[in-house]
Amino acid sequence: MHEHDNEYKQLLLNNTKWVEEKLSADPDYFKLLSKGQNPPFLYIGCSDSRLPIDVFTGANPGQIFIHRNVANQVFLNDMNLLTVLEFAIKTLKVKHVIICGHYDCGGIQAAYNGTDLNLVENWTMNVRDIAMEYKKELDAIENINDRINRLSELNVIRQLRQLCKTSIMHEAFKQNNYPQLHGWVLDIAHGKIIELELPVAEWKDYGLLPENYL
Ligand SMILES: [Zn+2]
């Protein structure tokens, strides 16, 4: 027997138990769930195992459409992300798009401090650009962890800006004036979600958001 067999088997045991609990509360729970999804939220977050967003927000299955990658990056040539985005906006017609970073993020740390993982370094190259752009602000923060956490915040705002550049978002705004955009950072040490202020007026000036965006 493999030494990790028990923790693996526990997952399946937990599933059986959870199904029983759900069915005893509502015998039709899975019948309803299997009929389809109509989630109001698209969530783009980090792959970090500590942040299952439905647990932190008390959301239920069917509420949040999810895309995750290391350090919640938005690349305009990432077919995976663009496919998720197109489906969420055009088919599911989500009303909110949330990009969520987090404090103590390994991807952000790797971008700031360097890493011996080449692919992570490639993947987070835009975060390094943000760090260079905001060098003055970041250097003024004495504590290195606070500095990297601030970089996590700046990264969320930058990735939302990236999202606004996609034709998918342009079209959605033109037709419906939604979805609403939200930038979050999860403060893992306290479990709290922090809402970031977005430079909406500036993005409107540059045509990234329509004038009537609220
Ligand atoms: Zn992370």
CA of 105 from ligand 1 middle (Å) equals 4
Range of the domain at 3: 1-35
**Local confidence band at 1 (pLDDT 50, 70, 90 cut-offs):** low
Q: Can you tell me the distance from the alpha carbon of 184 to that of 53, in angstroms, rounded to the nearest whole number?
A: 11
Determine, yes or no, domain membership for 161: yes
- In this structure, the answer to whether residues 84 and 164 fall within a common structural domain is yes
Are residue 107 and residue 199 in the same domain, yes or no? Answer: yes
State pLDDT tens for residues 22-69. Answer: 999 999 999 999 999 999 999 999 999 999 999 999 999 999 999 999
Q: Say if residue 52 is preceded by a cis peptide, omega within 30 of 0.
A: no
Does position 212 have pLDDT exceeding 90, yes or no? no
Residue 52 in domain: yes
Gap between the Cα atoms of 32 and 60, Å rounded: 13
Residues 168 and 146 reside in one and the same domain: yes
CA pair distance 16, 129, nearest whole angstrom? 46
- What global pTM score does this model have? 0.94
15 shares its domain with 74:
no
CB 194 within 8 A of CB 184: yes
- DSSP letter at 63 equals S
When the pLDDT of each residue in the chain is averaged and rounded to a whole number, the result is 95
- Ligand 1 centre distance from Cα of residue 30 (Å): 32
Q: How many angstroms is it from 69 CA to the middle of ligand 1?
A: 8
111 pLDDT tier (thresholds 50, 70, 90) = very high
What band does 175 get if pLDDT is binned at 50, 70 and 90?
A: confident
38: Cα within 13 Å, side-chain hemisphere: 2
Q: Which residues are catalytic?
A: 46, 48, 50, 102, 105
DSSP state of 169: H
82 and 31 in one domain? no
Map residue 40 onto helix, strand or coil: coil
Q: Is the pLDDT of residue 204 over 90?
A: yes
In a domain, 7, yes or no: yes
CA–centroid distance, residue 100 to ligand 1 (Å): 9
Q: Is the pLDDT of residue 177 over 80?
A: no
Same domain, yes or no: 186 and 144: yes
Please tell me whether residues 146 and 66 are part of one structural domain.
yes
Instruction: Please report whether residue 214 resides in a domain.
Output: no
| CA separation, residue 76 to residues 4, 80, 111, 201 (Å) | 39, 10, 19, 23
On whether residue 43 sits in a domain, the answer given is yes
Ligand 1 geometric centre to CA of 53 (Å):
13
Given a cut of 90, is residue 5 above it in pLDDT?
no
Q: What is the pLDDT of residue 188?
A: 95
Window from 8-22, 83-97, 165-179, 184-198 with minimum mean pLDDT:
165-179
Q: Which two tokens stand for residue 58?
A: 């008390």
Which pLDDT belongs to residue 2? 74
137, 164: one domain: yes
Count of domains forming the chain:
2
Residue 111 and residue 82 share a domain: yes
Looking at the fold, whether 11 and 30 belong to one and the same domain comes out as: yes
Contact in structure between 164 and 209 (CB atoms under 8 Å): yes
CATH of the domain at 81: 3.40.1050.10
Does the pLDDT value for residue 3 go beyond 80?
Answer: no
Q: Look at residue 115 and tell me whether its pLDDT is greater than 90.
A: no
Is residue 64, in this structure, part of any structural domain at all? yes
Question: Are residue 27 and residue 85 in the same domain, yes or no?
Answer: no
In a domain, 169, yes or no: yes
Q: How far is the CA of 199 from the centre of ligand 1 (A)?
A: 23
